[in-house]
Amino acid sequence: MKTIKGPAIFLAQFLRDYAPYDTLDGICVWVASLGYKGVQIPAWEKRAIDIDTAAESKTYCDELKGRLIEKGIEVVELGGYVQGQTLAMHPAYLEMFSGFYPKGMNEKQITGWASEELAKVVKASVNFGLKNISTLSGGFAWHTLYPWPQRPDGLIDEAFDELSKRWKPVLDLAHQNGITFGYELHPGSDLFDGATYELFLEKTGNHPSACITYDPSHFLLQQLDYLQFIELFADRITGFHVKDAEFNPTGKAGVYGGYLPWVERPGRFRSLGDGQVDFKRVFSLLTQYGFDGWAILEWECCIKSPEQGAAEGAPFIKEHIIQATEVAFDDFVGQKTDRDRNRRILGI
pLDDT tens-digit readout, 325-340: 877 766 656 777 889 9
State residue 336's pLDDT score.
78
The packing angle between helices 107-128 and 58-69, to 10°, is 60
Report pLDDT for 269. Answer: 98
CA distance 49 to 72: 18
Given this model, what pLDDT does residue 332 score? 58
Query: Is residue 239 within 8 Å of 134, Cβ to Cβ?
Result: yes
The C-alpha atoms of residue 99 and residue 76 are separated, in whole angstroms, by: 26
Report the distance separating Cα 184 and Cα 211, nearest Å: 9
Query: Which segments of the chain have a pLDDT < 50?
Result: none
> What pLDDT score does 325 carry?
81
Residues 6+ apart with CB under 8 A from 116: none
Residue-wise pLDDT for 232-273, tens only, equals 999 999 999 999 999 999 999 999 999 999 999 999 999 999
Domain ranges of the chain: 5-346
Quick one: pLDDT at residue 330? 63
Report the CATH fold assignment for 5-346.
TIM Barrel (3.20.20)
CA distances (Å), origin 267, targets 144, 179, 279: 21, 34, 18
Rounded CA-CA distance 336/348 in Å is 19
Report the pLDDT value the prediction gives residue 56, as an integer from 0 to 100: 98
Straight-line distance from the first to the last Cα atom of the chain, in angstroms, rounded to the nearest whole number:
34
